[in-house]
Amino acid sequence: MNYAIVEISGRQFWVEPEQYYVINRLPLKPGTKLVLKKVLLINKEKNIELGYPYLENAKIEATVLDHLLGKKIVIYKMKPKKKYRKKNGHRQKLTRLLINTIN
């Protein structure tokens, strides 16, 4: 079982080849191939390589599949007895990545 732990947009993800992951929006067009170089750990056939903090020769190739919006969150503010009520919503912008290879 091959996997890696990589840092993408400030968060750490456990990634495996040929799997899809949803991360915070990246400013790239769908179909763009990118190389992730902030690799913290690689486990390849029970051979574990650990970086301090990152591995220097490791890279992960990924493809941007599409952009999407997350689940809607409702924010409601209210001050009792003051007739102040404010309702607001938010949907996080997300990107779906396909991990191609781990080197």
With a cut of 90, say whether residue 46 has pLDDT above it: no
Residues whose CB falls within 8 Å of the CB of residue 74, separated by 6 or more in sequence, listed in order:
87, 88, 89
Residue 6 pLDDT class (50, 70, 90 cuts): very high
The predicted structure's pLDDT at residue 91? 98
The fraction of the chain above a pLDDT of 70, given in percent, is: 100
Domain boundaries, the chain: 3-66+94-102
Q: E-assigned strands of the chain?
A: 3-8, 11-15, 20-24, 33-36, 39-44, 47-50, 60-69, 73-79, 84-90, 93-102
Task: Name residue, tokens 């947009």.
Answer: 9
